[in-house]
Amino acid sequence: MEKLVAQFPKHISDALEIARGSDLRDLGEYAFSNVVICGMGGSGIGGKMVAQWFSSVAKTPIILLQDYDIPSFITGKTLFIASSYSGNTEETLSAVQKAAKLGAKIVGVCSGGELYKFCQDNAFHVIKVPGGNPPRTMLAFSVTQLVHILANAKIIPSDSLDRIDKCRNLLNKELVAIKEEAKKLATFAHNVQLILYSTNQYEAIIIRARQQFNENSKQLCWHHVIPEMNHNELVGWGGGKPEFAVVFFESQFISEQNKLRVSITRDVVLEKTDKCITIQGAGKNIFEESFYFIHIVDWASLYLGELNHVDPMDIKVIDYLKDQLRKS
């Protein structure tokens, strides 16, 4: 797992090479009315990331779907992107088959499996990424392909891949600082009830963080976003306890009003627990800053796993769940 985390910047480069070798220019000929990205877990979080990144410039709504069933608005004018690293995720396979029956334009992203076969059998576009690794370690590949697809469909700016390309330079340049921050975060998160907060446009990033602490560190935590949490969870801090430990992911690119909200929220939290840290973002834009946060947490989840004496690769409980579903 450590090797795979270390290769994250290189994965960006490798993913860009795959994207630039995939000819999807014909997608630009369609007038899509909406985009649905279907994916679960490590394959799905990239969909939420790109939907949030491009929400202010996308020419159509971009929706993340994480279920067996599909929304009723899907038609022949829908761009339906099925993202399943293994190609065998049953929720994604169910949804993409239903979308295809409604005439949606299908594009697959996978390493093989049933999704790859389904796309090939039906002459749908499919981008194949390297297989054999845990899906959560292949985020760079899924995110990059999603950006590539959306750019070719003229949903987002045509130069969007260039923004992804520049992210690896930041990660390589800041690696020492990233790993130092990650060690501090892991030590902070050990033997506490971890809570993650960010502003709304970074929700995908803290969901990713929660997933990494769940899978790599075998530790539960929860997350919420500002300003929404100021309308509900903030009141819940009336029952806050010292064992709660809060991490604020603080971006450079948030509104002045949200900066004020973060500051006030932090003050409320500190009345109930002294366990509160802030991770400051770095980078020239939200793309670079997102990858910066992600790389810190990826390393932190490994370090925390060591402190918890667990195997970051172990997902036996998920394998058990899938086995039980097959038997039913």
Q: Which two tokens stand for residue 98?
A: 């239903």
Q: Which two tokens stand for residue 135?
A: 């899906």
The C-alpha atoms of residue 296 and residue 301 are separated, in whole angstroms, by: 9
**Backbone dihedral region of 154: left (phi > 0), alpha (psi from -120 to 50 degrees) or beta?**
left
Identity (one letter) of the amino acid at 129? V
Locus of tokens 């990826």 = 298
Of 116, 115, 141, the closest CA to residue 43 belongs to 141
- Return all residues near 150 (Cβ < 8 A) that are at least 6 apart: 35, 50, 54, 58, 62, 156, 160
- Cβ atoms of 174 and 47 within 8 Å: the answer is no
Q: What does the angle CA 71 – CA 65 – CA 100 come to, to the nearest 5 degrees?
A: 60
Active-site entry in 231, 309, 316, 327: 231
- Cβ atoms of 100 and 106 within 8 Å: the answer is yes
- Cβ atoms of 215 and 317 within 8 Å: the answer is no
Active-site entry in 114, 174, 181, 215: 215
- Catalytic site residue 322? yes
Of 192, 243, 244, 241, the closest CA to residue 213 belongs to 192
- The catalytic residues are 215, 231, 322
